[in-house]
Structure 1
Amino acid sequence: MDALEALNTRRSIRAFTPRPVSLDVVRELIRAAMHAPSAGNEQPWHFLILTDREILDRIPDFHPYAGMLAESPVAVLVCGDHRQEKHPGMWVQDCAAATQNLLLAAHAKGLGAVWVGIHPREDRIEALRGLIELPPDVIPFALVPIGHPAETPESEDRYRPELIHLNTW
């Protein structure tokens, strides 16, 4: 799959088959995530691979949009680390770019994934911090459940020329 095809056909997948995803494949997806651009090349991210069924099953208790974790064999938690910041506050953009790379890599490998937002919701941040014992300077940003898709949503053309401006508004 070429880059434009991946960009234009990626969809959020919330239903997964029971087939496992190998940790080697997950590491390959994280490698792609780590190739995201970051401010000053600070790369202020950490990635937690979650496979423990007990942990995955507890997240929907405090996150109302994480129900798909019941079917997902693995999830990646993208976190920002204030200790790695050269440019304060830019970690959010850096982690967003890494999360998008992770989603595109999963799609390119034939896997399904969805972006489950954590930051800036303090209730979700603190619940995850307690569940997986994150250090104080590490902020959970996004959770990405990954699996073999049990659904195939239609691609849609989201191009809207009325949102494009040339030189001036």
Structure 2
Amino acid sequence: MNIIFKRKSVRTYLDIDVDDASVEQIIRAGMAAPSAKNQRPWEFYVVRNKETLAKLATCTPYSRPVANAPVAIVACYRTNDLFAPLMPLLDMSCCCENMLIQASAMDLGSVWLSFAPHPERQEPAKKALNLPENLEVFAVLPVGYPKGVGKVIDRFDPARIHWEK
């Protein structure tokens, strides 16, 4: 699992398309994530339309990378028919991490752009995608071939480990 240590946030992309099979593989990895009571609250919207990508890029102060990506995966969660209604944000976190790791394993770049739990970010994205009432936008993951090399950061901090004595 060395890919975990090689994953980095990628915010700029080459002007090269990402094929549907690759996008599906990334989403498949997301759907392999654990979820509370196996409720799997996720729904995904794959966005390639440049106008829609531009709209999504303005929904948060941090979502500009969406505008230059060839594709974005919008990870949404259902708010109805949930066995564990307090857990969708945790479920979606596991799901998105899986997708980021899978993209990296495929030599693709992505970055986690958080929309939840901020209604002021979620609502414009929901409107841009014309989502049904029972769906909320959790995060947007722009995906593409990285432009430039980028730097992997070692985040290991032994001071944060507390060994039982």
The TM tier, using the shorter chain, reads over 0.9
For structure 1, list consecutive stretches of 5 or more residues without a partner in the other structure. none
How do residues 73-92 of structure 1 correspond to structure 2 at under 5 angstroms? Answer: 73-92=70-89
Distance in 2 (alpha carbons) for counterparts of 1:25 and 1:7 = 19
Given candidates 56, 59, 67, the residue that maps to 1:59 is 56
Identity of aligned residues (%): 32
For normalisation by structure 2, the TM-score amounts to 0.96
Instruction: Report how far residue 167 of structure 1 moved.
Output: 3.1
Instruction: Report how far residue 117 of structure 1 moved.
Output: 0.7
Given candidates 145, 149, 153, the residue that maps to 1:148 is 145
Instruction: Report how far residue 151 of structure 1 moved.
Output: 2.2
Aligned pair in 2 of structure 1 residues 84, 149: CA closer, same or farther (>3 Å)?
Answer: farther
Given candidates 16, 21, 28, the residue that maps to 2:18 is 21
2:110 maps to 1:113:
yes
RMSD value over aligned CA atoms? 1.2
Instruction: Report how far residue 93 of structure 1 moved.
Output: 0.4
Q: Which deviates further from its counterpart, 159-168 or 83-92? A: 159-168
For structure 2, list consecutive stretches of 5 or more residues without a partner in the other structure. none
For normalisation by structure 1, the TM-score amounts to 0.93
Distance in 2 (alpha carbons) for counterparts of 1:84 and 1:35 = 20
Distance in 1 (alpha carbons) for counterparts of 2:158 and 2:15 = 41
Instruction: Report how far residue 100 of structure 1 moved.
Output: 0.3
| Counterpart for residue 68 of structure 2 | 71
